[in-house]
Chains A and B, each alone.
Chain A
Amino acid sequence: MLKTTDFTRLLLLSVLLWLCPPLQAEQQSATLTQAAPLFQEASFDKTREAVDLLAASGDPEVVPYLQALLDGKLYQDKAQGTLVIAKDGNTGDELRKIPTNNSLRKYLRGAVGQLSLSHPDAAVRLKSANGLLETVTPEMATQLRGLLEKETDSAVKEALSLGLAMADLNAADKAVRLTAIESLAGNLHPGVRNRLTTMTTDSDAEVAKAAQEALRSIEDTAALYGHVETLFFGLSLGSVLVLAAIGLAITFGVMGVINMAHGELIMLGAYTTYIVQQLMPNFIDYSLFVAVPAAFIVSGAMGILIERTVIRHLYGRPLETLLATFGISLILQQLVRTVISPQNVPVSNPSWMSGSLEINSVLSLTYNRLYIVLFCLMVFALLYFVLRKTNLGLQVRAVSQNRAMARAMGVRSARVDALTFGLGSGIAGVAGVALSQLTNVGPNLGQAYIIDSFMVVVFGGVGNLWGTLVAGLSLGVVNKVLEPWAGAVLAKILVLVFIILFIQKRPRGLFPQKGRAAGD
């Protein structure tokens, strides 16, 4: 989070510098020409005076010069005395770098901030108002109040009033300090927290107490957002589990087939993403939109192939199915190792997946996790629709509930079996596309998820899509809640043990199937 703001700041700066090529003397404003001789004195005191002069002008045009000075990029022409902002390699013999020291740089930061506060662009104002918090001094209070009155943009207004409150914290008047503390309660800005911490040792007992209370309220709010973040992490992990398990919920839950090769079908989906990206290296941003249907087709076709050649002969013998499909999983893994590579392959993330949505300074949601949650819900909704509202879904449910009766009614059960298995496998492939964006894509990708997937399906209740959704999301959240104090591995072990014990208590899962279909 901090990194991205730093990055945008840098970006903005470089754009700013690019927009302002070194200006010639005649184009430079009057204040700059006025300040130039002061810089030439080559003393820090005179430089400070020059900075004062520039800052007092209130002219937005001088901001880039001050910023350049701050960054050590401001040069002066030795002969003519004109100020030049250096671009790369623009420092010939005729130019002299204007030196700065620590205290001057600190002073400059404040000056740049104040100047930017009256910049015509609201975005610049907002940025500088936010940057102001670290350096605000009590003397700035009156200026801020004036700016606040003129300000029209609500975001800038908010930032300014925060800055004003920070400035007021240093006010001599106790009442002003107290109202400032009160207005800061619950504010999550890191600068506020640091400042208030120093206030808790204030000489005035009342102020110190108010600061402590405000600090406590800030910590409460931060803790609350911390919980929200854990919940979000949990939901995104849960979404991964649901995506991995939901195809299994169909093949295992609806058809009763133990498909140990399910993980490898996920892996095939991930490798499909890799191949799609290899085929369209210049369109990585769109690759996922191609990869999703492609993975569905690849894994789905593989699923139908497995069903037609092996599983068809093993209906009603679940343990044998388990062994045979395990054999298939070994073959598929080795196939990928031999044909592609035993090492992990690189899969790139589209640009729209990177970055994060910043809610406030303690809570930001990364886009890739956010998209995973949305994608999971979409897939779930689509699958639910297919099973509930389409003709195929009706036939699938009919065959799974009473095969003989369904056949008697004219359902071609063999075809339905193949299609159902293909659907479940295809969904596994789609899950593979999602996983390729989160973890390493290698031949063992599927193996890592197979046990988790079975746990989710069994925990949720076999033959129940809703159960799978609830089980997956709640296991994800539980895992993330346990992680901080147990560590990632122990959390996972605890969850496994919990499920083992849970199955003892409710062998049919959270939402057991009711009625005749539930028979052994």
Chain B
Amino acid sequence: MFITRILQNDRGGQIMLAVLALVLVLVPVLNLLVPEGSFLHMPTYLVTLLGKYLTYALLAVAVDLVWGYLGILSLGHGAFFALGGYAMGMYLMRQIGDRGVYGNANLPDFMVFLNWKELPWFWQGFDMFWFAMLMVLLVPGLLAFVFGWLAFRSRVTGVYLSIITQALTYALLLAFFRNEMGFGGNNGLTDFKDILGFSLQADGTRVTLFALSGLALAGGYLLCRYIINSKLGRIVVAIRDAESRTRFVGYRVEHYKVWVFTVSAMLAGIAGALYVPQVGIINPGEFSPLNSIEIVIWVAIGGRATLYGAVLGAILVNYAKTVFTGLMPESWIFMLGALFVLVTLYLPQGLAGLVQQFQAKGWLQRRAAA
């Protein structure tokens, strides 16, 4: 079968997807079918939390695709995630209709508040779901394409590229903070009511969004794995390991880079679009350079260039974040900082690398014993 062919030689991916499938079946059952009060019942907030982790995991996979396999350390992937989120947020905003505080059917609340008379041109069409979903893909994709085309064509590489991606997300952060931009300024977009007619507060909608996040993660994972396994993937890895040599062999390096970068940005956009209805808000804080750099550390902890490591890292770090910000809010930043330092110093291959190391050792011991 197609999927099994993609996952050939990807032990980690097989396990990860199997676990994911199990979770995708179990969670809805535990939430919807097991009656409340039973100790097996899974509360809805937990479902949403898991759904949030899954969107982070998809984002991490997108970053791993460009960092692990293409060698581009993007410190601006949070921007693509946030843009996808804003596209979804705009649709949800339009769905509120006249149920806002001001009861204006044509304008979102913050525009009424700013005394705007009509909908700006870039909000047109966002009342249609299909259009918003198109924008979820197109806006991050287009930005990544233009940015990548400019940067890779003029051979901006390594640290320089990292710094200008960071500048990109910083510029967007500043821009979206402005009220005049028409995206709700400081407060962002929030107070969403429903999606496609289903209330966002309903358990069923929550579980569906969770399931969609899981499916998107699985789909994104398979897509990335497919790309890596294809001939294109081989060239991508070649570019990472020896860019000049690949160029001299005759490949148009910048074309490969731009395309992979764009695909990755679109995946990040999808993750953002699934994230927003689950957390119920999108604000300019998502553009902050700190968020983007955190994604990188998820991937680093999980193990770069493995894809499943990115999923593992994203879920583990965010679970730890939830636990520790609840228990000892002060200590979390210390731990995050220490993670950055320790992982880069002592765990260059991440957790996935650690597992591989143990496996290799065990295999050697078995060989020795035989």
Q: What is the interface of chain A, defined by CB distance below 8 A to chain B?
A: 258, 310, 313-314, 318-324, 326-331, 333-335, 337-338, 447, 451, 454-455, 458, 489-490, 492-493, 496-497, 499-501, 503-505, 507, 520
Q: Is B155 positioned at the interface, with any CB of A under 8 Å from its CB?
A: yes
A314 touches B345 (CB 8 A): yes
Interface residues of B in 168-209 (CB under 8 A from A): 168, 170-171, 174-175, 177-178
CB distance from A95 to the nearest CB of B (A): 58
Q: What is the interface of chain B, defined by CB distance below 8 A to chain A?
A: 73, 150-151, 153-156, 158-160, 162-164, 166-168, 170-171, 174-175, 177-178, 289-290, 293, 296-297, 300, 330, 333-334, 336-341, 343-345, 348
A499 touches B330 (CB 8 A): no
With the chains together, A161 CA to B49 CA distance in Å?
Answer: 79
A310 touches B150 (CB 8 A): no
B174 touches A489 (CB 8 A): yes
B340 touches A505 (CB 8 A): no
Binding site of B, secondary structure by majority: helix, strand, loop or mixed? helix
B345 touches A500 (CB 8 A): no
A326 touches B340 (CB 8 A): yes
CB distance from B122 to the nearest CB of A (A): 17
* B-side contacts of A258, CB under 8 Å: 159, 162
With the chains together, A160 CA to B301 CA distance in Å?
Answer: 78
* B-side contacts of A496, CB under 8 Å: 167-168, 170-171, 174
B340 touches A327 (CB 8 A): yes
With the chains together, A322 CA to B297 CA distance in Å?
Answer: 11
CB-CB under 8 A for A504 and B150, given A318-B159, A320-B348, A496-B171: yes
A323 touches B300 (CB 8 A): yes
A489 touches B334 (CB 8 A): no
Residue of B nearest to A505 (CB): B154
* A-side contacts of B160, CB under 8 Å: 458, 503, 507
Task: From B73, B151, B174, B341, give the contact of A493 (CB < 8 A).
Answer: B174
Binding site of A, secondary structure by majority: helix, strand, loop or mixed? helix
B73 touches A327 (CB 8 A): no
CB distance from B3 to the nearest CB of A (A): 33
A493 touches B159 (CB 8 A): no
With the chains together, A327 CA to B146 CA distance in Å?
Answer: 31
Task: From A322, A331, A499, give the contact of B334 (CB < 8 A).
Answer: A331
A320 touches B337 (CB 8 A): no
* A-side contacts of B336, CB under 8 Å: 327, 330
With the chains together, A77 CA to B116 CA distance in Å?
Answer: 67
Closest 4 A/B residue pairs (Cβ): A327-B340, A330-B337, A331-B337, A334-B333
With the chains together, A500 CA to B166 CA distance in Å?
Answer: 10
CB-CB under 8 A for A504 and B330, given A322-B159, A327-B340: no
B177 touches A489 (CB 8 A): yes
* A-side contacts of B345, CB under 8 Å: 310, 313-314, 324
CB-CB under 8 A for A323 and B167, given A310-B345, A328-B337: no
With the chains together, A330 CA to B163 CA distance in Å?
Answer: 18
Task: From A310, A319, A330, give the contact of B159 (CB < 8 A).
Answer: A319
* A-side contacts of B289, CB under 8 Å: 451
Task: From B159, B330, B348, give the contact of A334 (CB < 8 A).
Answer: B330
* B-side contacts of A326, CB under 8 Å: 293, 340
With the chains together, A43 CA to B178 CA distance in Å?
Answer: 62
A455 touches B338 (CB 8 A): no
CB distance from B165 to the nearest CB of A (A): 9
- The 23 listed contacts between A and B (C-beta, < 8 Å) are A313-B345, A314-B345, A318-B159, A319-B73, A319-B162, A321-B344, A323-B293, A323-B297, A324-B341, A327-B340, A330-B334, A330-B337, A447-B290, A454-B163, A454-B166, A458-B160, A458-B163, A489-B178, A492-B174, A493-B175, A496-B171, A499-B167, A520-B158
CB distance from A1 to the nearest CB of B (A): 31
* A-side contacts of B330, CB under 8 Å: 334, 337-338
* B-side contacts of A500, CB under 8 Å: 164, 167-168, 171
With the chains together, A319 CA to B175 CA distance in Å?
Answer: 27
Which of A319, A321, A497 has the most B CB atoms < 10 Å from its CB? Answer: A319
Residue of B nearest to A261 (CB): B337
Residue of B nearest to A306 (CB): B341
* A-side contacts of B178, CB under 8 Å: 489-490
B338 touches A331 (CB 8 A): yes
* B-side contacts of A329, CB under 8 Å: 337
Task: From B155, B170, B175, B340, give the contact of A330 (CB < 8 A).
Answer: B340
A503 touches B166 (CB 8 A): no
Residue of B nearest to A496 (CB): B171
Which of A314, A493, A505 has the most B CB atoms < 10 Å from its CB? Answer: A493
* A-side contacts of B348, CB under 8 Å: 320
A333 touches B333 (CB 8 A): yes
With the chains together, A321 CA to B344 CA distance in Å?
Answer: 8
A328 touches B341 (CB 8 A): yes
B171 touches A497 (CB 8 A): yes
